[in-house]
Chains A and B, each alone.
Chain A
């Protein structure tokens, strides 16, 4: 079982719709959860992080964490073509290593 799993996609949504990206993790001791965005040929950039169960909102982005289900998600409201990228879920545990999922490729169609 992979440590961090994501649906590889591609996920395609029309402009203005909500994009929902999902991630599950295997280590119940995981403490912190991050979402990174990576444009093709570029480096990952941090979008959001979440540490506690529930929702965390930042602009058009909402991260949701459910530790009991070992599940973390990212919602992107009012999706824009510029949101088209690969979204990487990352998880850290007690050893402080950050492990990444394979990423979900999102395409927002105008």
Chain B
């Protein structure tokens, strides 16, 4: 499967635990974006990364959330000390060039449930 791969598909965490969401972009894509979607709502931009660089994190909450895209391996979205309000679908998308004309290709998402 050459598409954007996200895992896990479903993640259940208790309040206070850590959540780690993984995303492998499409082959040949070096630009990764993370979005959060609450039920019946649109996609909220969180962060835009290239290999080893955070390009724009203006959508990331100031605390508990972090993202990385290392030279080797998938991009990771990390949520520390999760709270119930973090429950949402988290989508990763990748693009080939990162330019404004470059469409995003989405993974199937990770559904995070905080109990």
Is B100 in contact with A32, judged by CB distance below 8 angstroms?
A: yes
Instruction: Note all chain A residues with C-beta closer than 8 A to B33.
Output: 97-98
Instruction: Note all chain A residues with C-beta closer than 8 A to B56.
Output: 95-97
Q: Choose from A6, A45, A97, A102 the contact partner of B106 (Cβ within 8 Å).
A: A45
Is B45 in contact with A98, judged by CB distance below 8 angstroms?
A: yes
Which of the candidate stretches B35-43, B67-75, B77-85 sits at the interface with the other chain?
B35-43
Q: How far is the CA of A87 from the CA of B104 in the complex (A)?
A: 15
Q: How far is the CA of A6 from the CA of B55 in the complex (A)?
A: 27
Instruction: Note all chain A residues with C-beta closer than 8 A to B102.
Output: 96
**Chain A interface residue bracket vs B:** 20 to 34
A6 to chain B: closest residue by CB: B42
How many contacts A-B (CB < 8 Å)? 57
With A95-B56, A100-B42, A100-B43 as contacts: A49 and B103 at CB distance below 8 Å: yes
Is A88 in contact with B103, judged by CB distance below 8 angstroms?
A: no
B25 at interface, CB cutoff 8 A: no
- Interface flags, A77-101, vs B, CB<8A=1, else 0: 0000000000010101111111111
With A43-B91, A43-B106, A43-B108 as contacts: A99 and B100 at CB distance below 8 Å: no
CB distance from A41 to the nearest CB of B (A): 9
**Chain B interface residue bracket vs A:** 20 to 34
Instruction: Note all chain B residues with C-beta closer than 8 A to A90.
Output: 104
Q: Choose from A42, A96, A99, A102 the contact partner of B98 (Cβ within 8 Å).
A: A96
Given A96-B102, A97-B45, A102-B42, 11 new contacts (CB under 8 A): A44-B43, A44-B106, A49-B101, A90-B104, A92-B100, A96-B56, A97-B33, A97-B56, A98-B93, A98-B104, A103-B42
| 23 A-B residue pairs with CB within 8 Å | A32-B100, A32-B101, A42-B108, A43-B91, A43-B107, A43-B109, A44-B106, A88-B43, A90-B104, A92-B100, A95-B56, A96-B48, A96-B55, A96-B98, A96-B99, A96-B102, A98-B93, A98-B104, A100-B43, A100-B44, A100-B45, A102-B42, A103-B42
Q: Using CB atoms and an 8 Å cutoff, list the residues of chain B in contact with chain A.
A: 33, 35, 41-45, 48, 55-56, 58, 91, 93, 98-109
